[in-house]
Amino acid sequence: MKKTFKKLFAALLAAALVLAMAVPAFAVTNATKGSITISNTVKDETYTIYRMFKLDSYNAESNTYSYTVESDWEGFFKTGAGGNYITLDGQNHPTWTAADENDSTTVAAFAKAALAWAADKKISGTKETATGDTVTFSDLDLGYYLVDSSLGALCGLNTTNPNATIKEKNEKPEIKKEVQTSAGDWSRENNAKIGDTVEYKVEIKVADGAQKYTVTDTMSKGLTFNSTSLKVAVGSTFATADTDYTLTPTENGFTLELPESYVSTFTKGTVILVTYNATLNKDAVIDGDGNTNKVTLSYGNHQNTVPSEVTTKSYQFDLVKVDGTTNKLLDGAEFELADGETKLSFVKDTAGNYRVAMTGEDGATTTITVKGGKVNIYGLAGKTYTLTETKAPDGYNKLVTSETVNLADGSKTHATIVDSVYKDGGVVVENHAGTVLPSTGGMGTTLFYVIGGGLMVAAVVLLVTKKRMEHKN
């Protein structure tokens, strides 16, 4: 048994747990104590130790020792999963019976089974919370210990003396969020019009010691999460909702729980992909900082990753209608704005401006009426649109051709107006008055008179000629 456990200790150097052994060079007495120090700890994380076997005696000359199982763990080895790794004789002395005590995978499986037993049976271990980079458990009864952290099971046993030191080797997981652009690639920023669906992906890179991961997604007011769109996958294998993960929508996003039973099945570096989408809604921020969406990964008891954030921007422009000669504002023109062959619908707000309408929104119209010579049109994506005049101001000719409005660069397009005269900025559309006909007086009137008089003379001649012919007859 001595040799078996020495081999097991060696295996634990590369395994996903710590089994700490403290043995003196003499028979155990009640006054004999030891310690376990954990280095490289993470501040605010909780570390727990469980004594699975107590040390009965130790023979320095032969380097042999005897253990008996603690009562809380007896069932684990006799009827539970622990019996697949360690068996107990009639006096409850342990022997490692698994296929290979040097196999780190086997030892890690033993550790997970033991920690699950401790949780299920509510075994009370000894706990310490890290305040710095080390945690020490002092005044310990000698024996065979399982050491766990809220970040995951530990690894590395470097001594079998009564004062053991082990190293926290768990790592921080990584998370990265990106948004899909109009070109179909992935970036930290995109743009969209109100009503568009915005696609997101979140990549979680699994770290050693993975236990439960919690993803918290926070969306700005201008984004509405579509809960049915969320998918979780590793490679081509999709996770099962309510089994492999739990999704809880919130007022401004969601939380996603990935339990240890799912996360722990993956090796270090495995990427868990989470995809979902949201709709850019009528509360979207126009220009400025845009509409943010950030995600944070929580692990352990109190640890969070640095948030990963993406932004969706939406744009606007001032439409200005002016006299082509004087640049003075004109009232009453009507327009339509199209994305390719599709006419866009708008809702007129209380300020008289036009916001891109949501699908099925009441009061939506394709007609934009320019009152007072200027109107703002907002909630647009960064692309090129076609602007068509459908009605000109009274007394002016309607434009024959359409105008293009290029918002591809996301430039702000506010217009400057001074004393009802257009100066610069925005999208300006010029109209010209209809053809100028001759006015009364002058040559024009004389011409009309001459023409009219000529007609009258012709009529008189025709009448006289007719009467003469009748008289002769």
- Inform me whether the pLDDT recorded for 20 exceeds 90: no
Dihedral (CA of 179, 185, 189, 192) sign:
negative
pLDDT tens-digit profile of 112-149? 788 889 989 999 899 988 898 888 998 888 888 888 87
Give the contacts of 470 (CB within 8 A, at least 6 positions apart): none
Indicate whether 105 pLDDT > 80: no
Mean pLDDT for the chain overall: 82
DSSP assignments along 241-265, one per residue: BTTTBEEEEETTEEEEEE-HHHHTT
In the predicted model, what is the mean pLDDT of residues 139-163?
64
Q: What are phi and psi of 165, to 5 degrees?
A: -125, 130
Instruction: For residues 48 and 115, give the distance between their C-alpha atoms in angstroms, rounded to a whole number.
Output: 10
Residue boundaries of the structural domains of the chain: 2-167, 174-313, 315-431
**Is 155 a residue whose pLDDT tops 60?**
no
Q: Is 1 helix (H, G, I), strand (E, B) or coil?
A: coil
What confidence tens digit (pLDDT) does each residue in 196-216 have?
A: 999 999 999 998 766 789 999
DSSP 8-state code for residue 91:
T
pLDDT tens for each residue of 219-274: 999 999 999 999 999 999 999 999 999 999 999 999 999 998 899 889 889 999 99
| φ, ψ dihedrals at 346, nearest 5° | -135, 155
Could you tell me the end-to-end alpha-carbon distance of the chain, in angstroms, rounded to an integer? 157
| Beta bridge pairs of residue 295 | 217, 308
pLDDT tens for each residue of 270-306? 999 999 999 999 999 998 889 999 999 998 766 788 8
Residues 6+ apart with CB under 8 A from 295: 175, 177, 202, 215, 216, 217, 218, 307, 308, 309
Residue reference for tokens 């008055």:
433
- The winner for highest mean pLDDT among 37-46, 370-379, 448-457 is 370-379
* Cα 290 to Cα 198, 226, 344, 467, distances in angstroms: 13, 19, 22, 90
Structure tokens at 110: 């033993």
Q: How far apart are CA 417 and CA 405, in angstroms?
A: 20
What pTM, to 2 d.p., does this model score? 0.72
For 191, the token pair is 């743009």
Name residue, tokens 């891109």.
356
How far is it, in rounded angstroms, from Cα 113 to Cα 263?
15
Which tokens go with 70? Answer: 């603690």
Confidence of residue 103 (pLDDT cuts 50, 70, 90): low
174-313 against 315-431: fold identical: yes
Q: Is 122 left (phi over 0), alpha (psi -120 to 50) or beta?
A: left
**Between 445 and 465, residue with greater pLDDT:** 465
CA distance 441 to 175: 83
Total count of residues recorded for the chain: 473
H or E stretch at 95:
strand 94-96
Give the CA distances from residue 378 to residues 189, 293, 316, 334, 353, in Å, rounded to whole numbers and listed in that order: 19, 21, 4, 17, 8
Please name the fold of domain 315-431.
Answer: Immunoglobulin-like (2.60.40)
Looking at domain 174-313, its CATH architecture is Sandwich (2.60)
Q: What does the pLDDT read at residue 43?
A: 81
User: What is the residue whose two structure tokens read 């078996």?
Assistant: 4
Closest CA to 274 of 222, 213, 221, 223: 213
pLDDT classification of 23: cutoffs 50, 70, 90: very low
* pLDDT above 70 (res 400): yes
Quickly state the pLDDT bin for 362 (edges 50, 70, 90): very high
Residue with token string 């979902």? 276
Tens-place pLDDT, residues 401-440? 999 999 987 666 889 999 999 999 999 999 988 754 554 4
Handedness of CA 76, 78, 79, 82 (dihedral sign): positive
Strands 308-313 and 189-191: parallel
Q: Which of 34-48, 74-88, 170-184, 323-337 has the lowest mean pLDDT?
A: 34-48
Q: What is the pLDDT of residue 355?
A: 98
